[in-house]
Structure 1
């Protein structure tokens, strides 16, 4: 899997527009948290390119970009969590999960729902 770094607030509008073309996933990661490291490792181990399809994954280091992490939460109308995954489609967050609820299997199911629409 190839993460796209999310490092600038200006990227949020680009990501919103990109989500009209294909699903976008944002993974908010705390480099100081063992639960976050576990969630990240679980996604990376179970990542399946065929199931991911044309979804584009973004990685946000929320320790380095704390303000941006808060902006993601407010921009997409979700409470801030760490770790957290957001799935965007058509400009909106259609799914979010945090901590041990984060799994590629669940993300894959959400992608199927998006494709069925």
Structure 2
């Protein structure tokens, strides 16, 4: 199992676009389309410039996900994966870095089920 600390050995550091994502039940969630390592400062917490309203739209661009402020804040602070779902009606989901259990190329294994991931509506 990969170390979940904030150091350079964090599992998210091993993820790249195109990898498949499997949830804790072994079900395919989708394929990674974006990896953002995060901006948590060394002392913990979130960068002060991230505490203003509307920053998520600036960070995520015109494709800002329909997430509540605290959800977006968590993703940006710790890092996240954007995953395009499987099938015709696949939903984009966001995997927080702390939801990654292990990375074994070409697969990202999660420690949570698909229903616990933030979904774009």
TM-score (norm 2): 0.32
Higher helix share: 1
Higher strand share: 2
Q: Which has the larger radius of gyration?
A: 2
TM-score (norm 1): 0.33
